[in-house]
Structure 1
């Protein structure tokens, strides 16, 4: 059983850093931070879950059925991730590309210790709560010294696909589009480093400082880490309501206010970027309709422009009401992976990009988040993220862009480099 203790936090920003610095000592940790980016769909400013009471991991075979059983059996908070390659269990697809990270396809854990921060109010939930343990932990947190000394080992970042090879592959995608095989595809490439020794928490602090994204994550499963500055929500369930917010459309930020405003306005009016976003919005509408009550799918906002520290983004919001015959996990299975990371039609896009990409995506372009005890959930899209296998000493980050009939391969390559900038800067 979980019971709650509440604390007033005078300095939430400082407390969040102390919270993660304290929590990262545990074997399992999920830290979620909205970076004060609140909207009508926000539930928490920050969440920390640590120390697995139970856990599950699996490959893609029957993964969603196993997750459904785990979620319905525990009826408790669960934190974890869904890798992109769960698509292989949803459709007749396979992933045979190189994988330097070797993360499980799916991993969730039931935390012993949970911290939920809203404004200045902290809610603490422990399994089998002992008041002394809670108070001792809280004292440790508020007295925690934030130390993130960096190992000075040099990291040599390599690019899996060369510029020339990238342009050739995008040209092949354009041929598929012109032949009518698909309308849009999200094509991705990997940057990586071998024999890499990094301080994951220090890298998280640096990435978060320069990004301050609304779906930021620090995830640890023993020696496997995710450091994510994601700006994108995949799917949220709130009662009978589902909310999805795909991102398609990116432009640079500038220090000069006039240049920056021009970049924002250009993005809002760009016919290619709008076409990308509208196609994926239509795909998400279709995905949500598979578990929706009749006539309940609605586009709340189309092609809205939102500004983050690194880039401007075009975001749409699509909602639906769930038909009661479907479970929480059913609504994930029928919409996964996120349309913004695949293309349209979804199956054709996933099949073709798998043939052209050279790295297994794994957790990249999957989702991280949580289930609450009543079956509600919230998951991001794993983009703008660094993945690290400490045991293998392998670091990876990937970036992609949407290829449509209007795409110019060289411009798409430049967009990928723009998206890679923050992760590259943090790792060097």
Structure 2
């Protein structure tokens, strides 16, 4: 039986809360109706109780949902992570959905033998009424430390250790009261993005408003879309266009973007047919609620019988969140940052029964852990030879603006 009902905002929250009450693992994905090359996430909720490892995911025949921590890199390369964990995220967590509810054109579609009963359960699920109450939000790195570290990273670039390094800072707070489903909808209103996700596993929750795709498989085609280049929106159409043109013509931003494009071309070449890697769009400018972003699209023909595990082993972590060259960048990230990234700058996504998949870059996100009553978020930017430390710091504050607005509200 298939039931279709209009999806009001309150029903979206009830749907997620209903799934949380029934299942250990819950994932909700949405593109927020934003146009994006190769489209954003499919609007859908999936939930289940059975976990599975990346190694055991079949090439086809099953739908799978999962999340991979940035620190999964230590299983791929001879690397470590000696910094403190604000939240102790698992390196990988995949699950097999027992139920899937799709949304199309703001219509909820329940394709299930007991669709009427499930809809009534969803409709009568009570919503949390308590507000967001946190202790003071603390930055783990103050501005002075940040500026000093950027200067030191620039010196490492001058010495030839790296060409570009994605340097991030983290924020944390203790939770008094919080309703993650409500927080998710507030963040979607404040910062709608094409790769947004809500992911809950046991006591840990991801509230994600990501603008960036990591990697997508569409039949035999593999697609990566790194973001490098950010500028604020203008307050008038004229000012907005001025900022947009400034980003497009910035030699610094183009240089950052091109370095990561080259890195991703190299990564894709390891799993693709010889000569099939191509740059479909270079330096595309896309506009979101608060920022313009520079996005490039690289594609290739995936090797026959290449598994998703092999894809991740050869492309993860994404170059936009490490730098170039990748391994040296990851070593320096662990040196200059003072926190373990965990799910931040990792990836969350889904696979369909035909083996197609879509995974984002976990940025512009809030992480909640009820077992430790902690909340954290992080933000960063690409440091290059041309970077001005004060401007990089301002870029970080711009990227984290929506999160701070929602949490302080």
The residue aligned with 2:241 is 261
The residue aligned with 1:55 is 51
8 Å contact kept, 2:30–2:194: yes
Report 1:292-331 matches (<5 A): 292-331=272-311
The residue aligned with 2:16 is 20
CA shift for structure 1 position 37: 1.4
The residue aligned with 1:427 is 407
Counterpart among 100, 103, 106 of residue 92 in structure 2: 106
Q: 1:158 to 1:39 in 2, by over 3 A?
A: closer
CA distance in 2, matches of 1:100, 1:90: 23
Q: 1:110 to 1:325 in 2, by over 3 A?
A: closer
8 Å contact kept, 1:188–1:399: yes
8 Å contact kept, 1:248–1:273: yes
The residue aligned with 1:204 is 184
Q: Secondary structure at the match of 2:248?
A: helix
The residue aligned with 1:95 is 81
CA shift for structure 1 position 6: 3.6
CA distance in 2, matches of 1:148, 1:239: 41
CA distance in 1, matches of 2:201, 2:192: 23
8 Å contact kept, 1:193–1:395: yes
CA shift for structure 1 position 13: 5.9
Runs in 1 of length 4+ with deviation above 6 angstroms?
none
8 Å contact kept, 2:41–2:196: no
Counterpart among 276, 294, 312 of residue 256 in structure 2: 276
CA shift for structure 1 position 116: 2.2
Q: 1:170 to 1:372 in 2, by over 3 A?
A: same
The residue aligned with 2:55 is 68
Matched, 1:135 2:116: yes
CA shift for structure 1 position 424: 1.2
CA offset digits 1:258-300 (Å, max 9, x no partner): 2111111111111111111111011111100000011111111
8 Å contact kept, 2:209–2:363: yes
Report 1:152-231 matches (<5 A): 153-231=133-211
CA shift for structure 1 position 16: 3.6
What TM-score do the two structures reach when normalised by structure 2?
A: 0.94
CA distance in 2, matches of 1:346, 1:74: 31
CA offset digits 1:70-114 (Å, max 9, x no partner): x12894111120100011011110001010211111101111111
Q: Secondary structure at the match of 1:72?
A: coil
8 Å contact kept, 2:132–2:179: no
Q: Secondary structure at the match of 1:334?
A: helix
8 Å contact kept, 2:286–2:294: yes
The residue aligned with 1:62 is none
8 Å contact kept, 2:59–2:307: no
The residue aligned with 1:59 is none
CA distance in 1, matches of 2:64, 2:165: 32
CA distance in 2, matches of 1:138, 1:104: 33
The answer to which of 374-383 and 396-405 deviates more is 374-383
Report 1:280-291 matches (<5 A): 280-291=260-271
8 Å contact kept, 1:44–1:117: no
CA distance in 2, matches of 1:320, 1:74: 20
The residue aligned with 1:117 is 103
Q: Secondary structure at the match of 1:263?
A: helix
Structure 2, unaligned runs of 5 or more: none
CA shift for structure 1 position 353: 1.2
CA shift for structure 1 position 136: 0.6
CA shift for structure 1 position 325: 4.3
CA shift for structure 1 position 12: 6.7
Q: 1:190 to 1:369 in 2, by over 3 A?
A: same
Q: 1:213 to 1:405 in 2, by over 3 A?
A: same
Matched, 1:31 2:12: no
Q: 1:295 to 1:185 in 2, by over 3 A?
A: same
CA shift for structure 1 position 15: 5.1
CA shift for structure 1 position 47: 1.0
8 Å contact kept, 1:36–1:214: yes
What TM-score do the two structures reach when normalised by structure 1?
A: 0.90
Q: Secondary structure at the match of 1:314?
A: strand
